[in-house]
């Protein structure tokens, strides 16, 4: 009985730990536990939570080589910008060789996010000598001419002094004297020295601040500036903050453009959650009732194991930070069927062993031993298929594959280990008669060869 007590404690501990990971009813306040209402801590996809999905594609321009390394670097820059934007749990992944998928669950301002992540954000400080340029003027691709806001084109070579690659920090601030928003920047290392040296020898000349070839401002140098300064441009609060985010995140190594955008409203997402949960609960309850009615006590024990299975799968999702989507829920329900199938296989083997005249303990051992081979064979086959989907698939297909994989692994544990422990416990508690009644179930019809 001591071994049975340990097994029950292990199963209870798994159930409690899984419930804590998924719903977090207990949180630590210092060293003291604090209770809070249980709420699912699952990461939901756009189809369940609502939000925006944007697909960016690297642009192939003359003189710009698009490589896998540059696309990966662009992903890191975009990730930094998204983090600064404060979006909760965004999803960022590559698609093919030159596309980046960005998902913003629950985002309230998708247009701002699209503008923020899609800009190259190449900041340049350009020496324009005695020439002041108005805001909005733009350097043409040859970098030798400038188009003014009124459409006039003037000849002015771009002489870059320092770029945003040397920035250490950039912050949006509200100036109490001018009552305007501005961006305060600071250079680091060699960039600070270049900036200070140029401003020291160019007093009285203009140092034009350019972002993506477009002029932000063109201030005159009044004195030597030791590696820091401000960008003024009649910014709104959001414009100043976004510019600071772009500068801190760095410039994209390759230009990108949005090729696909999809927005899912929160109402549609909530409706999807309600329908999916309803379908899942109905399927689970129907399966448990059928298994219990057909296999009696072993079926009831299998239903208990299925409850543990559901908690384990959700805990794996929450613990690994995986995103739950509608295809993922489909994979979850499919893996529930696989979990039931494992128990059915074992119970049928148990029934055959009992009819062969073996004792209950011997029948349990033989039934699980014979059923193990079939369960492993079918589940490994399913895992191979899921691995292919995970490797080659994208988006919803990968979500389905992840859920199916986690569900199959959890179902193998509950069918092979948890259900057997519970059946053996009941056998030792004097419920052998109820377990042995499995042998009284009708035989499956034989198919003639």
Domain ranges of the chain: 51-264, 265-440
What is the per-residue pLDDT for 269? Answer: 58
Partners of 54 in beta bridges: 102, 261
What is the per-residue pLDDT for 89? Answer: 63
What is the per-residue pLDDT for 267? Answer: 56
What is the per-residue pLDDT for 447? Answer: 42
Looking at domain 265-440, its CATH architecture is: Up-down Bundle (1.20)
CA distance 192 to 277: 57
Instruction: From residue 437, give the alpha-carbon distance in Å to each of 95, 341, 370, 420.
Output: 55, 20, 20, 17
Q: Is 86 left (phi over 0), alpha (psi -120 to 50) or beta?
A: left
What is the per-residue pLDDT for 127? Answer: 92
What is the per-residue pLDDT for 448? Answer: 44
CA distance 389 to 16: 32
What is the per-residue pLDDT for 446? Answer: 44
What is the per-residue pLDDT for 75? Answer: 85
This prediction's pTM:
0.61
CA distance 122 to 4: 66
Q: Which residues of the chain have pLDDT under 50?
A: 444-449
What is the per-residue pLDDT for 108? Answer: 60
Residues 6 or more apart from 349 whose CB is under 8 A from it?
366, 367, 368, 370, 371
Looking at domain 51-264, its CATH architecture is: 2-Layer Sandwich (3.30)
Distance between the two ends of the chain, CA-based, in angstroms? 47
């Amino acid at each position: 009985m001591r071994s049975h007590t340990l097994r029950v404690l292990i199963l209870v501990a798994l159930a409690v730990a899984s419930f804590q990971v998924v719903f977090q009813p207990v949180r630590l306040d210092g060293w003291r536990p604090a209770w809070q209402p249980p709420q699912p801590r699952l990461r939901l996809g756009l189809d369940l939570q609502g939000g925006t999905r944007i697909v960016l594609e690297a642009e192939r321009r003359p003189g710009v080589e698009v490589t896998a390394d540059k696309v990966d670097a662009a992903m890191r820059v975009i990730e930094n910008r998204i983090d600064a934007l404060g979006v909760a749990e965004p999803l960022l992944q590559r698609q093919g060789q030159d596309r980046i998928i960005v998902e913003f669950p629950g985002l309230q301002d998708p247009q701002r996010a699209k503008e923020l992540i899609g800009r190259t954000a190449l900041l340049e400080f350009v020496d324009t000598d005695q020439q002041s340029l108005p805001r909005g003027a733009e350097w043409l691709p040859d970098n030798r001419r400038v188009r003014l806001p009124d459409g006039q084109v003037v000849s002015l070579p771009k002489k870059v002094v320092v770029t945003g690659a040397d920035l250490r920090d950039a912050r949006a601030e509200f100036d109490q004297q001018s009552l305007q928003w501005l961006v305060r920047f600071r250079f680091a290392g060699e960039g600070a020295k270049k900036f200070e040296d140029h401003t020291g020898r160019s007093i009285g000349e203009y140092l034009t601040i350019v972002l993506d070839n477009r002029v932000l401002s063109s201030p005159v140098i009044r004195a030597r500036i030791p590696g820091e300064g401000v960008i003024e441009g009649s910014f709104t609060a959001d414009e100043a903050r976004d510019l600071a985010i772009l500068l801190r995140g760095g410039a994209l190594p390759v230009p990108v453009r949005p090729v696909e955008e999809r927005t899912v409203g929160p109402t549609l997402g909530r409706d999807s959650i309600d329908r999916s949960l309803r379908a899942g609960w109905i399927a689970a309850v129907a399966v448990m009732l059928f298994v219990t009615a057909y296999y009696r006590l072993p079926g009831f024990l299998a239903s208990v194991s299925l409850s543990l299975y559901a908690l384990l799968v959700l805990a794996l999702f929450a613990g690994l930070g995986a995103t739950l989507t509608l295809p993922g829920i489909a994979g979850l329900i499919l893996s529930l069927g696989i979990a039931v199938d494992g128990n059915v296989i074992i119970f049928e083997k148990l029934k055959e062993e009992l009819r062969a005249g073996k004792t209950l303990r011997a029948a349990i051992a033989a039934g699980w031993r014979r059923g193990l081979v079939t369960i492993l064979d079918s589940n490994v086959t399913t895992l191979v298929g899921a691995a292919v989907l995970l490797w080659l698939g994208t988006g919803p297909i990968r979500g389905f594959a992840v859920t199916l994989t986690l569900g199959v692994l959890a179902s193998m544990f509950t069918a092979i280990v948890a259900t057997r422990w519970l059946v053996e416990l009941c056998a030792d508690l004097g419920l052998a008669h109820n377990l042995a009644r499995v042998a009284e179930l009708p035989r499956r019809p034989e198919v003639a060869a």
